[in-house]
Amino acid sequence: MENNIDWQKEDLNYIWHPCSQMKDYEQLPPIVIERGEGINLYDINGKCYKDVVSSWWCNLLGHCNPEISASLKKQADKLEHVIFANFSHKGIISLCMRLAKLLPNGLKKFNFSDNGSSAIEMAMKMSFQYFQQTGKPEKTRFMALTDAYHGETIAALSVGACDLYTKIYKPILMDVIRVQAPDCFRCPFNKNRENCSCECFKDAELQFEKYGTQTAAILVEPLLQGSCGMRVYPPLYLKKLREICNKYDVHLIADEIATGFYRTGKMFAVNHADISPDIMCLSKGLTGGYMPMAAVVTTDKIYNAFYDDYLKGKAFMHSHTYSGNPLGASCALAVLDILDKGEIQEHINKMRPYFNNLIKEKFLNIDNVGEVRSIGLINAIELVKNKDTKEAFSPNLRLGYQIYKKALKKGVLLRPLGDVIYFNPPLIIEKQDMDFVVDVAVECTKEALKEL
């Protein structure tokens, strides 16, 4: 019977795909994937796609990684899930013990959920409740950066700032204090990210002066503002944030959902700045991209503000059904086993200059490439209408989308963010794949520009 099913047609009969205008699927039907291996995805016709976006940035160590798969299979035969209130299991305890050693100083209390957005919600509720219970009930507001992305649920959208996702919902979002994010490509101070003193931090100072006393926490994507265009900024900005948060007693919430697990070249992006946040959110790479799992990690200080006799009503009454899922934990443990060997880190260090130079060499001579920016194995190419003025193309041209479609035909899964083409591949990517995907991306970019 399976043989007679038109999978693409049935997909469209039933499925409403995420972050998609479904009408676009008339021209570009869903690609039905059958299996994955390393950075390759194979569709039901056997066509291969190089997954250089790590399937929305979560696949850390390749599809169907043998070690992670083995760990998951073993766990599935033992215990698939158990209620996490009052119950526990060895996998999640081991995971916390091991992560605590890798996390910045002081982060050692773990709360689990099953996706990044819910981790952000949890972090915000935790920070808010902390101040309610420690004598500063006036701290009820949140700060976040311009061009921030923290997920898609209502509170997470509220702290986010990409119009594409938030605009229509504004009437039902929280009123968040907006801090001007660093914009190193279009720096208003005419500096560059390698040698500035974060002159742009001025706006943060202004907002803290004005609103610091009413603010519970500031959320930040450390070093890399991902979904709003892969914007890379210097560690100094984070150091300054840490200092000013201390000064105004504001929690620093590091959203490491996209940046954790060596995406930026270090275990966590905050490691580049040598700082410790008060709360850190992890997801995506945590399970190697296998199982939906997120962790919110915090300090004893915050934890202790919730610790009291039950009738005092101070507990954190937050739960998710799949909190602490054993299958997720088994994958996360396998990821840590692989990272413990140190080979991935060596591989990143070796490949980073090669990949970055290759991209610079092949893209920078294209007239419409405004900037190539990179951190870890992530490389982003921002296309502009005018290189000198850095004027952007009209979004109505959907330039990035044209490039996306062309690259798919040639077997590369790029998924540009507007006119920012980027590579965020599984960390195991090898040279010959880098050569191939960059060549395809360059070809498609040139073709799409010519057709404008």
Q: What is the DSSP letter of 107?
A: -
Binding mask 79-118 for ligand PLP (x = CB under 6 A): ------------------------------------xxx-
Establish if 54 lies at the interface with ligand PLP (CB under 6 A).
no
Q: How far is the CB of 227 from ligand PLP (least distance, A)?
A: 6
CA gyration radius, the chain: 22
285: nearest Cα among 348, 350, 336? 336
Which segments of 83-180 does DSSP mark as H helices, in order? 90-102, 116-132, 154-159, 163-166
* Residue closer to ligand PLP, measured from CB, 281 or 358: 281
Candidate segments 92-100, 174-182, 252-260, 379-387, binder of ligand PLP by CB under 6 A? 252-260
Give 272's Cβ-side CA count (13 Å radius).
24
Q: How far is the CB of 223 from ligand PLP (least distance, A)?
A: 11
- Rounded CA-CA distance 384/393 in Å is 6
Q: Which positions from 345 through 384 interact with ligand PLP, judged by CB under 6 A?
A: none
Q: How many helices (H) and strands (E) does the chain have?
A: 14, 16
Q: How far is the CB of 107 from ligand PLP (least distance, A)?
A: 17
- Is the Cβ–Cβ distance between 261 and 273 less than 8 Å? no
Among 151, 289, 328, 418, binds ligand PLP (CB under 6 A): 151
* Residue closer to ligand PLP, measured from CB, 255 or 371: 255
Residue 254 bridge partners (DSSP): 220, 280
157: nearest Cα among 121, 193, 126? 121
Q: How far is the CB of 151 from ligand PLP (least distance, A)?
A: 3
* Residue closer to ligand PLP, measured from CB, 19 or 93: 19
* Residue closer to ligand PLP, measured from CB, 374 or 424: 424
DSSP letter string, 30-51? PP-EEEEEBTEEEETT--EEEE
- Rounded CA-CA distance 157/121 in Å is 10
Binding mask 111-150 for ligand PLP (x = CB under 6 A): ----xxx--x----------------------------xx
- Rounded CA-CA distance 59/33 in Å is 15
Q: How far is the CB of 53 from ligand PLP (least distance, A)?
A: 12
**Amino acid, res. 223:** L
Among 222, 226, 370, 376, binds ligand PLP (CB under 6 A): 226
- Is the Cβ–Cβ distance between 143 and 207 less than 8 Å? yes
Q: Please count the residues of this chain forming the interface with ligand PLP, following the rule CB under 6 A.
A: 14
Measured CA distances, 127 to 108, 191, 276, 288 (Å): 16, 35, 16, 28
Q: Pull the structure tokens for residue 187.
A: 């720096």
* Residue closer to ligand PLP, measured from CB, 53 or 333: 53
- Is the Cβ–Cβ distance between 231 and 185 less than 8 Å? yes
Q: How far is the CB of 153 from ligand PLP (least distance, A)?
A: 7
Q: Which positions from 283 through 302 interact with ligand PLP, judged by CB under 6 A?
A: 283
Among 204, 257, 336, 407, binds ligand PLP (CB under 6 A): 257
Among 51, 121, 147, 255, binds ligand PLP (CB under 6 A): 255
* Residue closer to ligand PLP, measured from CB, 289 or 370: 289
* Residue closer to ligand PLP, measured from CB, 226 or 426: 226
* Residue closer to ligand PLP, measured from CB, 228 or 351: 228
Using DSSP bridges, classify how beta strands 378-383 and 177-179 pair: parallel, antiparallel or unpaired. Answer: unpaired
* Residue closer to ligand PLP, measured from CB, 36 or 160: 160
- Is the Cβ–Cβ distance between 367 and 446 less than 8 Å? no
Candidate segments 202-210, 219-227, 366-374, 402-410, binder of ligand PLP by CB under 6 A? 219-227
- Is the Cβ–Cβ distance between 366 and 92 less than 8 Å? no
C-alpha angle 23-27-33 in degrees, rounded to nearest 5: 95
- Is the Cβ–Cβ distance between 28 and 11 less than 8 Å? no
Candidate segments 86-94, 221-229, 402-410, 422-430, binder of ligand PLP by CB under 6 A? 221-229
Residue nearest to ligand PLP (CB): 116
* Residue closer to ligand PLP, measured from CB, 204 or 295: 295
Instruction: List interacting residues with ligand PLP (CB under 6 A).
Output: 115-117, 120, 149-151, 221, 226-227, 255, 257-258, 283
